[in-house]
Chains A and B, each alone.
Chain A
Amino acid sequence: GQNIDQPTEMTATEGAIVQINCTYQTSGFNGLFWYQQHAGEAPTFLSYNVLDGLEEKGRFSSFLSRSKGYSYLLLKELQMKDSASYLCAVSPGGGADGLTFGKGTHLIIQP
C-alpha cells in the first residue's frame, strides 16, 4: 500500500525558519516531490529528491533519507506569502508514475 504522513498544521513567525517533515511507506520509490498550494490555486512545484541528501533552492531546501522513508522541507527567512499548504508526494516508478500525495501541511505565518 501507499502511505504518506505529514503534520496537518504548523505555525511559524515571519523571518524565522520552519521544517516540515514527511514520512512515507510506498510499494516503490522513484523520487519525492514537494509542492506548495495556496487555497483555491494549483499546486506549484518546489523541489524534488531522488538520492539521499539535501537539495537547496534559494530559501527552500529539501532532504531525503530513503532508508528511513523520511524527508523534510526547510523554509528560511519566512515571508507572509509563504502561508500555504505544503504537499509531500512520492513517485512509485516502475511505469506507475502517478504521484501519491500526503494530505498536506497547512503553514500559518504570523507577523
Chain B
Amino acid sequence: NAGVMQNPRHLVRRRGQEARLRCSPMKGHSHVYWYRQLPEEGLKFMVYLQKENIIDESGMPKERFSAEFPKEGPSILRIQQVVRGDSAAYFCASSPTEGQPQHFGDGTRLSIL
C-alpha cells in the first residue's frame, strides 16, 4: 500500500497522559499536513510541515500540542496532558508539492477517558 499510513488507528488515553500519533506520507511526498475532525464538524487544519521544518502552525493550539517531521522516520503529532476535549479524529495528509491535491490517511481516532 503506497498511500498515507497513520498509526495507531485507535488510541485511548486517560486525562493527563500523552498521545503520540504517527504519519508516513506517500512515497515521493515531502509535504505533510495534520487536521482534526470533531464529531459533526468539518476538518480543521492544524499544521503543515516539510522535512525537519514547520512551515505553518497557525491551526495548532498554543499549548500541549506539537508536531515534527524528522529527516528520518514518520511525522509525529504529540499531545501532552490530554483532556476530554482532545477526543477527535486526527487525519494526516501529504502532497508532492505545495498547491497539489493532498491525499489523506485513514486517521487516528483518539478517545480520552
| Residues of chain A having any CB pair with chain B under 8 Å | 30-31, 33, 35, 41-45, 48, 50, 87, 89, 91, 93, 95-104
| Residues of chain B having any CB pair with chain A under 8 Å | 31, 33, 35, 41-48, 55-56, 58-59, 91, 95, 98-99, 101-107
Q: Is the CB of A97 within 8 A of B101?
A: no
Point out which of A33, A44, A97, A104 has the most chain B C-beta atoms below 10 A from its C-beta.
A97
Which residue of the partner chain B has the closest CB to A43?
B104
Instruction: Give the complex CA separation of A62 and B7 in angstroms.
Output: 33
Contact among A33, A93, A99, A104 for B45, CB-based, below 8 A: A99
Dominant SS among interface residues on chain B: strand
Instruction: Give the complex CA separation of A50 and B99 in angstroms.
Output: 9
Q: Is the CB of B103 within 8 A of A96?
A: no
Instruction: Give the complex CA separation of A102 and B45 in angstroms.
Output: 11
Given the known A-B contacts A87-B43, A98-B33, are A41 and B106 also in contact in the complex, defined by CB atoms under 8 Å?
Answer: yes
Given the known A-B contacts A33-B101, A98-B45, A98-B59, are A42 and B107 also in contact in the complex, defined by CB atoms under 8 Å?
Answer: yes
Within the complex, the shortest CB–CB distance from A61 to chain B, in Å, comes to 16
